[in-house]
Structure 1
Amino acid sequence: MSAYSTYVILLIVLFVSPLFSENHWDDYIAEKNIGSTYHVFGDNVNLRESGNLNAKVIQKLKLGQTVKILSKMNQTLEQNSVKEYWYQVQTESGSDIGYVWGGFISDYSFPIKDALVLCKNLGVKTRKLELKIIRDSNLISQGSWEVGPMSNETWDNTIYDEKRFSPRPNALFAIKFLIFSEIEYGYSNEQLFTFDQNFKIQPQFSWNPGACDPPACSESWLIFPKDTLPEDKKIMRKSILGKENTIIELMHSFDIDEPNQHDYYQSEYLWNGQNFQKKEN
């Protein structure tokens, strides 16, 4: 079987088979970590005396303002298909303690350039990731994209060197998160984005660093311009040299019961100044 065929079969198992089974994530509600600090995802968000919409408003919270999660309430609220818990929070000054619905609190954030990226998991019903780019509590740009049923258990980011591409984007970065599936609970997915000179977000492509539905498994690597992926004789991988203005994705599919079976499939994403256009080999 070719590397491409093996890879496609694994993708079918990842994305299609869950549609025909009872999804173990249907009742999942994204949660914040008690004791952690998060950024407010909305603007003029009500900080209330208790966890309900009729409670007295203590103050208004600004977009990007930080709050510390003190406790999670049992009460949930669903708005626009987003269902989350209410949380008791403390403002960054420490002067006020109140309650905020989790839908108004970001799930992950990181700085880039002179801006802050706020990430929001919109829930397993919506299956979307929403980003807001802010500077000094001012919204610069935003967008949302369907990525699949997300978990809040694993978040990470990578900021890549945009100077390797010409004409170079204002920024090149990726956000990694966990997508639920029937394969070993879930798998990591990384979505690449760029900023233009006005910090407008442009989604590029996503890739899966690895997944496994024994005995079939796969793993992938990205090779950037001027980089070299070294040879690995153990898994029969040849050395791959990076190409100018291109991101190479090398996918390795293998069978854990067949130690000598290793198949490879390569895709290339050529930068045209605005987007990475996919070319399959």
Structure 2
Amino acid sequence: MPPAGDHPSSSTIRARSAHQKVAVADLFPSTFPSGQGSDLAGVIEEVGAGVAGFSPGDEVIGFTQKRASQAELVLVEAGDLTRKPEKVSWEVAGSLYVVGVTAWGAVHAVQPKEGETVVISGAAGGVGSLAVQLARRTGATVIGLASESNHEWLKRHDAIPVAYGEGVADRIRAAAPSGVDAFIDTFGDGYVELALALGVETDRIDTIADFAAAEKHGVKTDGGVAAGPGAKVLAELAGLIADGHLDVPIANVYPLAQVREAYTELERRHTHGKIVLRP
């Protein structure tokens, strides 16, 4: 059950500068015709010779780096899989890898601590919604930048909602009178510069979206799907979900035959949570 969301090569290039298009092409090169998708969840049908730890019939969560997950059958390395807990739904399991590992990496990059304040842009998106929750688990105060329609969700997850747009810096300062210690940018479009204007140190700023600003200002770009121990992080996140400590919002579920419609919704960039494809 691979998702249709949050893959840099599909959903976000069109909104970026030419410099960033080149950067994304370098990070995720492709030769067409090409498949698509990294995240997946499903039932193992066969195991290769010498594979230990998995058997046919096992329910698993995993990923592939070969642009191949949006399909009915996927060939996956055993080391890129972890078992799916019974209490984790297929929709959530199939949409966990990219957003989960990216959010985990971004939060770890800025190291929020109890008593500190961290701002997260795109706080209601696929990556942002998980980053909000993971940052809150450190004990930090989290300010989430999102449209007003998503403010109630942020409040329910113990974050302080702030509307983006003109005047956002003043609204952040009002919400954080003692200052901002860290900033996670999941959206791009000037948020690195905003973080700097708020006085955040460069080593406490992480962007997963604005590579040109990162190069210019020397801020971090941790959180990419190639940056961390994927299966290990997946198991950790799946455990948090199964225990009720992490919520993965699902915006919509499409059958695989409607993949075009799924990407059309994704490119609007106003989705709260994940868009999932069901084979």
The structure with the largest strand share of the pair is 1
Specify the structure having the higher radius of gyration (Cα). 1
Choose between structure 1 and 2: higher helix proportion: 2
Higher relative contact order (CA 8 A, sep 6+): 2
Whether the TM-score (by the shorter chain) exceeds 0.5 is no
